[in-house]
Structures are given as structure tokens and as C-alpha cells.
Amino acid sequence: MQPTWLKCETTQNWIPQMTTEPTSMTGRLWNTLRLLPVLACVVLGARAHAASLPNGSVGAIAPPRTDTPSLCSDSVAAFRRVVSEFQGRQQNTAISVGVVHHGHTVFREATGSASLETGMRADPAMAFSIASITKAFTGVALLKLVEARRIDLDAEIQRCVPDFPRHPSGRPVTLRMLVHHLGAARHWGPERNERLYARHFDDVHDILALFRDDPWVPDLAPLTRYAYSSYGYDVLAMAIQTASGASFQQFLTQAVLSPLNLASVQFDRPGLGGVRRPSRYSWYDLADFHELTDAPQRVPDWDYSYNTAADGPDRQRG
């Protein structure tokens, strides 16, 4: 896939704009990960979870060009304006943004507060949670196994995860359905409490015990309608682990993170040393999840490994 180029009106500098589509699903997802530095913002305290983007750590993804220009001043101003508008609209506590152009970091800034309590400012070198962008990494890991003919997207999930329950309707649930949130698997529920947040899951298969006895959206059959499910992606991680013969974390690192030179992305756990992190905040009440209107609520340093493949143990730092 080759990019076209947008020229700044005031200079001869160029900004990439991807206009062609790869032909395979794997290619589309792979290029999504390649473009995260340009397309994604790391958002702390968003109305959902935080989002992210890498910075210069992905320099080896595209071969560097000897004529690579820097961004023109108009583009830098435009980036800052977009970030400011986004932060104001979403009421994010902090945002870190990086833009990589042909292997060179051309824009890298952070704005907002890393801590509302202390007044510490956000820094692009801090480690931000990437939250549900983790699902894109899980999807690419799955498709790497599909390409290697080690897993079948249209097989019933029980082929790889035998102890995952069958749907009471009798309809099969395939890996492809879970990828697209069409498998009728439920999202997290009341089991997500402080006792769960204090527990660490090293093996993704251990997560199944949290919802195995109640895995379905009530009165919903597979392929009936879209129902967002982070647990569905955790089940996919279990399938990846079975098919690869390695732990999910090991396979994701070897098949996705290492080839993309994303050395700064890592599986997080509370107490992980050597990393400066912004505090997490939520615009939803931590007890009953009603929406807050006055100010975000500080989120404790909980362990999110119960959603290893779906919702945010990965961390990105500069």
C-alpha cells in the first residue's frame, strides 16, 4: 500500500494520507497498527477508557527516506488545534500525541494534567494505557495464525477452547463471530469489583472462570445483532494461546510487537517499576457506572489483567 502526499500550501513539505486499501483483512489490520502513530491519540480520563498512540518507537516500520521533511509550521499549528479541540470536547484529563513520518518522529507533544491532585503536567514520555486498542493487537495476532493455517476463523470456538460453553440456542459460535462482536457473548458485569482488581491473571485461560457460568447476553442468539464484548476477545486470546502453543502474551510480543519494533508497548501490572505514568480518571462512577458531570473520578491503580486481550493491560510510553 502506497501513500499519497498532501503538500502544505506555504512550503514544499508533505504529510502522508493513506488512500488505498490493502486487499486482505490481515493487511488492513496490520496497516492499522502501522498507522496508529498518525491516527491515534493517547487519551487519559476519556468518557470510556483511554486510547493511545505510539511515537518514535515504530521507526523501523517503514524504510526511512533521505528526503524526509519536517512538518511545516501550519501543520504543527493544525495538529495543536485539533488536539485542543478534541481534549475540550471529550473533557480528557491529558492527551499525548505523536506523529511518525517515514520512520521519523515529526510531532510529539502532551497536554493536560498527569495528576489533578498534584498538578503534574502530562509528558509524552509517560506511559499511557491503550485500553481497547488492545483489541486491534489481538486481532492481528489471530490473523497471523490464520495466515499460517494454524487456526480457522469459521471453526467453532470450542475447537480451541473446549471448556467454553455452547450457546443454549444450539447455534454455533465461531471465532469470526467473536471478532465482530456477533457471538452473543456478554461484556463484563458485576464481577468487576475491587476484589477482582486486586487479582492478577498470568494465564488468559484463567479469566474464563469469571463468566463461564453466565457467558451470554440474555435472549440474544449468535449472529442476531452486534453486542460489544471484551470477554469475547479474552476467549479469542485463549484460542490464540492454544493454537500457537505459547502464552498469549508471548505470542503477541513475538508475532506483532517485535516485528513492529513496538518495544515500548508492554503488558502492564500494578507496581511495574521504571515507568512514569499519568493517573487514571473516569467520567463514570466507579461503583454504579452512572455518568459524572462535574469532575472525573480518580481511578485506583487497579490490575486490569482480567481483560488481558481486550481492555488495556498494554502500555505505551515514549
Residue 255: predicted pLDDT: 95
CA atoms within 13 A on the CB side of 105: 14
Residue 272: predicted pLDDT: 60
Kindly list the structural domains of the chain, giving each domain's residue range(s) and its CATH number in brackets, ordered by start.
4-132+263-316 (no CATH), 136-257 (3.40.710.10)
Task: Tell me the pLDDT tens digit for each residue of 135-169.
Answer: 999 999 999 999 999 999 999 999 999 999 999 99
Residue 304: predicted pLDDT: 86
Mean pLDDT by 10 residues, the chain (318 residues): 33 32 47 40 31 30 43 77 86 87 85 92 88 92 96 97 97 97 93 88 95 96 96 97 96 94 80 72 86 90 87 56
pTM of the full structure:
0.75
Contacts (Cβ under 8 Å, ≥6 apart) of 269: 200, 303, 305, 313
Instruction: Say how many Å lie between the first and final Cα of the chain, rounded.
Output: 27
Measured distance CA(228)–CA(276) in Å, rounded: 32
Residue 223: predicted pLDDT: 96
Say what percent of the chain tops pLDDT 70.
73
Residue 314: predicted pLDDT: 52
What value does the CA radius of gyration of the chain take, rounded to a whole number of Å?
A: 20
CA distances from 262 to 1, 39, 45, 103, 236 (A): 21, 16, 24, 13, 22
Running DSSP on this structure, what letter comes out for residue 279? P
The answer to whether 136 and 51 have CB atoms below 8 angstroms apart is: no
Residue 142: predicted pLDDT: 97
Measured distance CA(189)–CA(286) in Å, rounded: 13
Measured distance CA(189)–CA(5) in Å, rounded: 46
